[in-house]
Structure 1
């Protein structure tokens, strides 16, 4: 089996130069880089990840924690992170919490024991419990995505959920709707609170009253949202439009509405939130609020890498701006 010394000898360079080429830790001219790569390929050299991590005191591995990978929203964010990991030569260890606080603590302990270079966290349980994830470990650079306050220092990248909820509701109002309901996410989750607050602001500015019979709470998933809509339906008169606070719930609402003999958007207009990829392929295609999930993942990776490389001590807070995507699930009444 070839060693790094064999590669260096064949390429007629030092072992440190080979190391810099393979690890991208210093600029090496294109000519020498090509010579080293050719020697690596010819000799079928495979670097030892363990030896490298011991020498450089890093593992070129990031840990990522998400509430669930089933929701397409999380999958698209993870895709953005994975792409940047591949481009920058990093490994990714992905863990799901499934909403279980003990599983969250176990996964964080496991990732830190594996000496990951940094953490990317997208889990509401961190906010609800307000825990210090580093109480038993040496702190590592961390980026929290799409979340609220935490009990530890971290960079944050968040969607402007308040503005997104406002835009969604304002669009319904501008489309001529005055009887507007809302199926919101769990009231203890910061994202859900902010989207609903945006809904309230738009209704207040338009001098429209909020009928609490048309407001139901769900858990950001299809099945529970379908149940929430059926509860709303049973109360009597329906609104003409509903702001559903994520696309997964919007899918559940549309399915439930169809099962009750309602036509979307002729009988009921629906606007969602997130713009997951399948939203455009629903029937009807879903008008929704877009937040760039792939770019959220890419930016989270780049922010974490910047913190590691620059040894930046200050924490950043980056806010991504949502935009409206107009499709076919909202009827114009004007």
Structure 2
């Protein structure tokens, strides 16, 4: 296998010059760069990613954990993460936790052993978890997306769910509805609770009754939305409108409304949350609160890379101060 020394000998330059050309760490004249690149091509030189990562103390790899869900929301956020990694010349290792805490911990352990430069965590099961593994890797930068309180050091990227819930409910009220029900997500999750709190604020602001018979807690999945609307129907007369706290549940509710002969929006107006891509292909198209999913993913990557750069500078200062 060819080495940089072999390329230097063939190109008639120093090994350090070869390194600068291949790693793009310093300006080298076009003529010399061409000689080096031609020599590397002639020798079928392939740079060792492992050797480079050991030398630079960087693998240019990010690990990401996501919770399994049929919700396209997660896929659209991951798309933003993956594309941002690509533009920043980083690789992404994606792990699926299946909603299992032990699998999540094992995946984090594996990613850290593979020397990823940082972690993006998007796991509902993380809320309230204390992960001892981060005590073994105190310098690893972590960014958490979407969920509530964490018992380890991390930055957090999340939407303003309180405002979103408020705006969704206000939209229904401004369209003439005085009866507004709500299908919430799991209220032990921060985002679901904040959307529900936004809903209550809008009703109180407009002096409307919060009827507990029109409020039901669900699970953020299609089946949950379908079962919730069935349960509301069994309780008695429906409100004239519903704020459903994500699009997946709203799609399930729309399906049941159609099956029961309830005309949407004439008899029941429904607004969702997330603005997933397929929402506009429902019949009727789903009114929904937009979440900037691609920008959420991009923001997570940019935040993590800033933390990685800051960690690198701190390590450089620490190492230099020891000499």
146 and 19 in structure 1: CA distance in 2 versus 1, 3 angstrom threshold: farther
Q: Classify the secondary structure of the residue corresponding to 1:272.
A: strand
* CA–CA separation in structure 2 for the residues paired with 1:206 and 1:312: 52
Contact 1:132 1:151 in 2 (8 A): no
* Residue matched to 1:324: none
* CA–CA separation in structure 2 for the residues paired with 1:234 and 1:284: 24
* CA–CA separation in structure 2 for the residues paired with 1:204 and 1:270: 20
* CA–CA separation in structure 2 for the residues paired with 1:136 and 1:294: 32
* CA–CA separation in structure 2 for the residues paired with 1:90 and 1:104: 22
Q: Which structure has the larger Rg over C-alpha atoms?
A: 2
CA shift digits 1:239-270 (9 cap, x unpaired):
11111101111111111111111121122111
* CA–CA separation in structure 1 for the residues paired with 2:160 and 2:32: 43
Q: Is residue 256 from structure 1 mapped to residue 256 from structure 2 by the alignment?
A: yes
Cα offset, 1:31, TM superposition: 3.8
309 and 275 in structure 1: CA distance in 2 versus 1, 3 angstrom threshold: same
Q: Classify the secondary structure of the residue corresponding to 2:303.
A: helix
* Residue matched to 2:170: 170
* Residue matched to 1:325: none
Q: Is residue 59 from structure 1 mapped to residue 59 from structure 2 by the alignment?
A: yes
User: Mean Cα displacement is larger for which, 121-130 or 59-68?
Assistant: 121-130
Cα offset, 1:130, TM superposition: 4.1
Contact 2:181 2:239 in 1 (8 A): yes
User: Mean Cα displacement is larger for which, 212-221 or 303-312?
Assistant: 303-312
Q: Structure 2 length normalisation: TM-score? A: 0.88
* Residue matched to 1:201: 201
* CA–CA separation in structure 1 for the residues paired with 2:255 and 2:246: 15
310 and 135 in structure 1: CA distance in 2 versus 1, 3 angstrom threshold: closer
Q: Is residue 282 from structure 1 mapped to residue 275 from structure 2 by the alignment?
A: no
* CA–CA separation in structure 2 for the residues paired with 1:78 and 1:133: 24
Contact 2:275 2:289 in 1 (8 A): yes
* CA–CA separation in structure 2 for the residues paired with 1:169 and 1:37: 62
Q: Classify the secondary structure of the residue corresponding to 1:234.
A: helix
95 and 23 in structure 1: CA distance in 2 versus 1, 3 angstrom threshold: farther
* CA–CA separation in structure 2 for the residues paired with 1:52 and 1:161: 43
Aligned pairs for 1:1-16 within 5 A:
1-8=1-8, 14-16=14-16
Q: Is residue 105 from structure 1 mapped to residue 105 from structure 2 by the alignment?
A: yes
User: Mean Cα displacement is larger for which, 157-166 or 68-77?
Assistant: 68-77
For these two proteins, the number of residue pairs brought into alignment is 313
213 and 23 in structure 1: CA distance in 2 versus 1, 3 angstrom threshold: farther
Q: Structure 1 length normalisation: TM-score? A: 0.86
* CA–CA separation in structure 1 for the residues paired with 2:71 and 2:18: 42
Cα offset, 1:309, TM superposition: 1.2
* CA–CA separation in structure 2 for the residues paired with 1:109 and 1:64: 12
* CA–CA separation in structure 1 for the residues paired with 2:280 and 2:37: 44
* CA–CA separation in structure 1 for the residues paired with 2:297 and 2:172: 30
* CA–CA separation in structure 2 for the residues paired with 1:84 and 1:204: 41
230 and 310 in structure 1: CA distance in 2 versus 1, 3 angstrom threshold: same
* CA–CA separation in structure 2 for the residues paired with 1:257 and 1:188: 27
* CA–CA separation in structure 1 for the residues paired with 2:260 and 2:81: 40
* Residue matched to 2:71: 71
* CA–CA separation in structure 2 for the residues paired with 1:307 and 1:97: 24
* CA–CA separation in structure 1 for the residues paired with 2:14 and 2:38: 15
Contact 1:17 1:28 in 2 (8 A): no
Q: Classify the secondary structure of the residue corresponding to 1:98.
A: coil
* CA–CA separation in structure 1 for the residues paired with 2:224 and 2:244: 12
Contact 2:183 2:243 in 1 (8 A): yes
Cα offset, 1:41, TM superposition: 5.2
